Amino acid sequence: MERRQNNGERCRIVQRFVLTIEDNNTRLACYMYMRNCSDKDVRKQLHIKQEKLDLLKLELALALRQAGIRI
């Protein structure tokens, strides 16, 4: 049986995950997504193209999944 994650536990998992990120661009992207920024805003702030952002988002999704949070 799968345990449901409440918002508090989910936030703690994400916060622990963000603390382990060493790359500043990735950490900034996580911070911006947690603040509900759009892809356009993230691309503008990081000065990257859509293809690079898509790759970054995929890496983040896999890392979050490994950290134990459902996307």
In which band, very low, low, confident or very high, does the pLDDT at 4 lie, cut at 50, 70 and 90? low
User: pLDDT tens across 18-32, in order?
Assistant: 888 888 888 899 889
Q: What is the pLDDT of residue 15?
A: 79
Predicted structure pTM score: 0.72
Digit-coded pLDDT (tens) for 37-49: 999 999 999 999 9
CA atoms within 13 A on the CB side of 7: 1
**Distance in angstroms (rounded) separating the CA atoms of residues 47 and 68:** 30
